[in-house]
Amino acid sequence: MVTHGDRARPPGVARALAPIVSFTMALAGSYSPTLFAETTPGGEVFLSLAESVDAKGIDPIESGTIAGVRFSLDAARGESLKASARVSLDSSAGLALDRAYLKARLLRETGGSALRLTIGKAPLSWGKGFLLNAGDPIFGAAPRVTALSSDEYRTSTAWMASAYVPFGAFSFAEAVAIPRVGAGNAYQDAGTDEGSEATVARAIAGSENPDNRAGCRALVTPGWGALQSAEAGFLASDQETLGAYVAFDGSLVIDWYGALSARWDNAYTGPQTPELALSFGLFRIFSIVPGRQLAARAETLAYPAANRELWYLELILGLTDDLSVFARGIVATGRAVSRIEEEAASGDAIGNAQGALSALPWLASGSALASVGFSWVLLNDITLSGGALLRIGKGDEEQTVPGLTVQAGFTCAF
Asked whether residue 284 carries a pLDDT value surpassing 90, the answer given is yes
Contacts of 323 (CB under 8 A, 6+ apart): 374, 375, 376, 377
C-alpha 302/C-alpha 352 separation (Å) is 12
Asked whether residue 200 carries a pLDDT value surpassing 70, the answer given is no
Give the pLDDT confidence score for residue 46 in this predicted structure: 87
Asked whether residue 104 carries a pLDDT value surpassing 60, the answer given is yes
Relative to beta strand 400-413, strand 382-394 is antiparallel
Q: For 287-343, how does the pLDDT look when each residue is reduced to its tens digit (9 = 90+)?
A: 887 778 999 999 999 999 888 999 999 999 999 889 999 999 999 998 877 777 776
C-alpha 105/C-alpha 358 separation (Å) is 36
Rg of the Cα atoms in the chain: 23
Give the pLDDT confidence score for residue 59 in this predicted structure: 46
Percent of the chain surpassing pLDDT 90: 40
Q: For 224-243, how does the pLDDT look when each residue is reduced to its tens digit (9 = 90+)?
A: 879 999 999 999 998 888 99
Q: For 358-406, how does the pLDDT look when each residue is reduced to its tens digit (9 = 90+)?
A: 788 778 788 888 899 999 998 778 999 988 888 887 543 344 455 677 8
Give the pLDDT confidence score for residue 124 in this predicted structure: 93
DSSP-derived 3-state class of residue 271: coil
Bridge partners (DSSP) of residue 334 are: 308
| Domains identified in the chain and CATH numbers | 56-413 (2.40.160.100)
More confident of the two residues 192 and 293: 293
Give the pLDDT confidence score for residue 11 in this predicted structure: 40
Asked whether residue 6 carries a pLDDT value surpassing 50, the answer given is no
C-alpha 357/C-alpha 360 separation (Å) is 7
Average the pLDDT over 124-136 and give the result.
94
Do the Cβ atoms of 76 and 82 come closer than 8 Å?
A: yes
Q: Model confidence at 24, in pLDDT bands (50, 70, 90)?
A: very low
